[in-house]
Structures are given as structure tokens and as C-alpha cells.
Structure 1
Amino acid sequence: MTRRTLAVVSAGLGQPSSTRLLADQLATATRDALARHGDDVDIRPVELREHAHDIVNHLLTGFPSPALREVLDTVTGADGLVAVTPIFHASYNGLFKSFFDLVEPGALADRPVLAAATGGTARHSLALEHAVRPMFSYLRAVVVPTAVFAAAEDWSGGTVDGALGARVTRAGGELADQIHRRTPSTGPADPFALTTSFDELLGGRDR
């Protein structure tokens, strides 16, 4: 059985948070689909509200705290990513965007991502396509076709069912398929690793 890691980022600001609840549902659907592939998964939840001050400090100073460095490594080193944001003013919230602004260029290249969002009404659902998906495409991630939006009326006793439940299941299956077909991650890339030998650096071969 292949061991996989799944980072689950939620940018909800409240507690309890419907954003975190949706993230958990998507993580469960992905885990179940990976199990059908014969893969075991280590789910690693990340609640951005717990790191809000560190995120702002990193933006201002350019240096992450040890706790935030660990979170960034968790996200960039995972086999797959579930990313869920509340929708404010027709786009992702500032905490969500600020966190992904800190991800190194190329760190999410070819990384399977399931994008999801919550909002007061279904009118906000298009933000997934005109804001969230383009951001991850810019980061060169592989965003699965099904994005999931949950409005307030979609929740019933803290669970999802009906059309939303079916969408969660489909999206989790798509993410699991993308993860399963890739070689397991070896962790975050080392930004100080040499990609060129010393001989090449010293001009040891013709160009």
C-alpha cells in the first residue's frame, strides 16, 4: 500500500467554520477514493486563522516563523492539496491569498489541487472559476475539473447531502485519481539544493 500525504488548507475566520467543515468533507472523500486505489493517506489539516499573524509578519519581513515554515513545507511537500476559502466581495479572502502569496514560485508545479469555497448564497459560486482556479493555474498546479461551492442552505446538521454531497464525492475522486497516478512526493524542494554540478558552474562543458 502506497503512503500519500494530503494537505487540507482552510481559510475560515470563525470557529466553528463552515469552510473547515467543507474542507474536512472533501478530505474524507479524497481519502476514501484513494483507499479504493489501494493508497493510504496522511491528512494534514492547516487552519490559516491560527497562523494569521505569522503570515502578515512574513509578508512584511520576508522571513517565516518556524511554525509558518512548517506549514509551508506541509503544503508544498504534500502529494495533493485541498484548498478552501470563504468568498468575500466576489473573491477569495485576504488570508487565503496572503498565504499563497508566500508559496515559492514553482513549489506547486504539477501538484494536484481541489479548489473549494463557501459563501452566503450560490451567487458567489463563480468566484471559484474567475479567482481561485486562475490563481492555482498561475502557480502551475493541476486543478481538478470539479470545484465545490457550499452556500449556507447546503448544510444539513453539519453534513453534506444531495447535489452538494455528490459534488464532494466526484471532486474527491478526481483529486484521488490525480494523486494516484503520480510518484509519491519526497517532500518540499530544498531552495538551496544545487541543480548544476560544480564542473558545470566552472565551465567544464561547452554550451
Structure 2
Amino acid sequence: MSRPRVVIISGNIRRPSRSRGLAEALGAEVGRRASIELKSYDILDAGPGFGSALARSELPLPAARIVDEIEGADALIVGTPVYKGAYTGLFKHLIDFIAPEQLAGKPVALTATGGGARHALVVEHALRPLFGFFAALTLPTAVYASDADFEAAEDGAGYVVTDAGIRSRLCAAADELAGLLATHSRGAEILRRSAWAVQ
């Protein structure tokens, strides 16, 4: 039996990135609870020319492969920095290329980062409705972290979550996603068929 495939996609447009660090921290917690195949991407991995593509056939090969990975995943962990109260434009641009039926019933964990606590509801007011359109199964526990909740990694290549409350939420979301992955494979296909049959 193959391991569930979990794909992380982060909307950050710079590296190192707190957004990618938060999403990957959640992926690591899920990996402690379940045997999974984990892949991680951000917008920079989509390659040059991605932003100017207007149709899926125009995507550069790296971006097309990311879209294929997202559609083929058993679950997603998504993250974005907050820009003007919502997700980044290039993150939304990538999501626009996904066939809606490919996310129906798929577990999706929501994460976001911002400069302060005032942006915390972006996960509820922007990310959850976006994936609700796709009839995805968003986890009850979303994780938002602000700049003060991180420290730079010792190697300088990223960021580490240091806030105990955020780490607790990561654990709660990981419990939910690992539990869904354990019971979800058959139910996901039923949800996928039924969700788009009525539209």
C-alpha cells in the first residue's frame, strides 16, 4: 500500500520565508504521526514566466508540474503571507489553474503568516472560502503566526516556530490531518463524485 501524498504549497515570493517555514512545520508534525510522502513547493518554484500565463497550456513546465502535484495529492497544506488582508496574488494565480473537481473532498490544512495579530482572520475570511469553492475538506484548526512567533534558523536558511501556542495549534492541525489520512481514501472519492455531480 502506497503512502499518502501530502503536498505543501506556499504563496511566499521571497526566501527564506516564514510562510513556508510554518507550512513545513505542520508537514513535519503530520510526518511524526503518519507515514506520508511529503513534497514542498512555493511560488518561486513555479519558474519565470508563470505570472504571465493565461491558460494552463501556457504554464512553464515547473508550474505545470506543481499544478499536477496539487491535483494528484491526497492532502494539501497551504500557506501564504498576508498581503493587504488576503493571500498573495501569485498564490491565487496558481490556484486558478486547478481543475475544481480535483480538490473536491480533499483534506486541506490552512496556514498563514503576517506582521501582527490583526491579520489572523485571513485564514477564515480568505483561505477557507477559497477552498470552500472547490468543495475541499478544510481542517477545523487553521494556523496563523506573526513575525514575533519565529526565530531565524541557525543555518540562516529559514525560520523556526518558537511560540508555544502556535506549536500547540500545529499539533492539533497535524492530529486532524493524520486522522483524516488514515480513514479518508475511500471517502474522498465518494465526496469528489458527489460534490461536482450537483453543480
TM-score range, shorter chain: 0.7 to 0.9
Q: Cα offset for 1:52?
A: 5.4
User: Which residue number corresponds to residue 173 of structure 2?
Assistant: 171
Structure 1 CA distance, aligned partners of 2:36 and 2:56? 35
Q: List gaps (5 residues or longer) in structure 2.
A: 153-158, 190-199
Cα distance in 1, alignment partners of residues 168 and 116 from structure 2: 19
CA distance in structure 2 between the aligned counterparts of 1:67 and 1:75, rounded to whole angstroms: 13
Aligned to 1:195: none
Larger Rg: 1
Alignment-derived partner of residue 23 in structure 1 = 23
Query: How far has the Cα of 1:62 moved from its partner?
Result: 4.7
Whole-angstrom CA distance in 1 between matches of 2:80 and 2:100: 21
Q: Deviations 1:112-142 (Å, cap 9, x if unpaired)?
A: 0001100000100111111110000101110
**Mapped partners of 2:179, 2:54: distance in 1:** 35
TM-score, normalised by the number of residues in structure 2: 0.84
TM-aligned CA distance change 1:75 to 1:123, over 3 Å? same
User: Quick check: 1:159 aligned with 2:154?
Assistant: no
Gaps of 5+ in 1: 35-39, 187-207
Measured after TM superposition, the shift of residue 178 of structure 1 is 1.4
Question: 4+ runs of 1 displaced by more than 3 Å?
Answer: none
Structure 2 SS opposite 1:27: helix
Corresponding residue of 2:10: 10
- The CA RMSD over aligned residues, in Å, is 2.1
How far does the alpha carbon of each residue in 1:141-188 deviate from its partner, in whole angstroms, 9 at most, with x for none? 1000001001011114543241000001111111111122122899xx
Q: How many residues align?
A: 182
Identity %: 31
**Amino acid of the residue matched to residue 103 of structure 2?**
L
Q: Measure the CA separation in 2 of the matches of 1:50 and 1:20.
A: 12
Q: Which region of structure 1 is more displaced relative to structure 2, 50-59 or 105-114?
A: 50-59
Judge conservation of contact 2:47–2:63 (CA < 8 Å) in 1: no
Q: Is the 8 A contact 2:55 2:97 kept in 1?
A: no
Cα deviation 1:8-67 (Å, max 9, x = unaligned)? 001112111111111110100111122xxxxx2111111112315343233267532332
Distance in 1 (CA, whole Å) between partners of 2:120 and 2:94 is 21
CA distance in structure 1 between the aligned counterparts of 2:110 and 2:178, rounded to whole angstroms: 14
Alignment deviations for residues 65-119 of structure 1 (CA, whole Å, 9 cap, x no partner) = 3322211111110111000000011111101111101111211011000011000
Distance 1:32-1:81 versus aligned 2 partners, 3 A rule: same
The yes-or-no answer on 1:148 pairing with 2:148 is: no
CA distance in 2, matches of 1:61, 1:116: 26
Match of 1:92 in 2: 87
Q: Could you say which structure has the higher helix fraction?
A: 2
2:40 pairs, out of 42, 45, 64, with: 45
AA paired with 2:64? R
SS at match of 2:100: coil
- Using the size of structure 1 for normalisation, the TM-score is 0.81
